[in-house]
Amino acid sequence: MSEHADNTPHVRRVVLPSGKTIEVVYFEEHPDLQGTTIEHIERRRADDDLHICASCQGEFVYPLEWEEASSTQWEVTLRCPSCEWIGTGVFDQGIVERFDEELDRGTEALVGDLKRLAAANMEEEIERFVSALEADALLPEDFGPPPRSTTA
């Protein structure tokens, strides 16, 4: 099995062609899927959408590693979190730039969802707090321990 079988997260830093650095957190590795060959990538759709999985067609593929292969090409190792497919290929700069833009769009969507979820959670907490205030159900102890007396 993997050295991370205890579900200890493994973090890998990836530097994108745009210069941005992202961190990918793994909670479990699948060694049986490591080293998948390039033939999966070669069967990719003609429009070269690297964010689409060559195996399951899922739209959440992300880079594990990027490395400049030449002045106009990048060697990219990709991973699909839906089916655990992993593959490596060499792609032209334009394809990699479109992939980077798609990753940016995905990041923006995730951040937007996170903000909406945080706001919804906060709204729910405020409603519970207001209900407790209206019901006179709050006590000083609900806000921490009482202050210590300094008089003897």
What is the rounded CA–CA span in Å between residue 72 and residue 145? 64
DSSP character at residue 108: H
Q: Which of 13-17, 42-46, 75-79 has the highest mean predicted lDDT (pLDDT)?
A: 75-79
Which of 32-36, 40-44, 50-54, 112-116 has the lowest average pLDDT?
Answer: 32-36
CA distances from 38 to 28, 66, 85 (A): 23, 15, 11
State percent of the chain over pLDDT 70.
68
Select the more confidently predicted residue: 14 or 131. Answer: 131
**Tokens (6 digits) for 80:** 């699909």
Q: Which tens digits make up the pLDDT trace of 20-47?
A: 777 666 665 544 444 444 444 444 444 4
For 98, list phi and psi in degrees, rounded to 5.
-65, -40
Distance CA 57, CA 50 (A): 10
**Tokens coding 32:** 């049986």
Instruction: Please give the helix or strand (H or E) that residue 103 lies within, else none.
Output: helix 93-134
**Upper half-sphere CA count for residue 23 (Cβ side, 13 Å):** 5
What is the pLDDT, as a whole number, of residue 28?
59
> What's residue 62's pLDDT?
92
According to DSSP, the residues that pair with 116 across neighbouring strands are: none
CA quadruple 47, 48, 52, 56: dihedral, nearest 10: 90
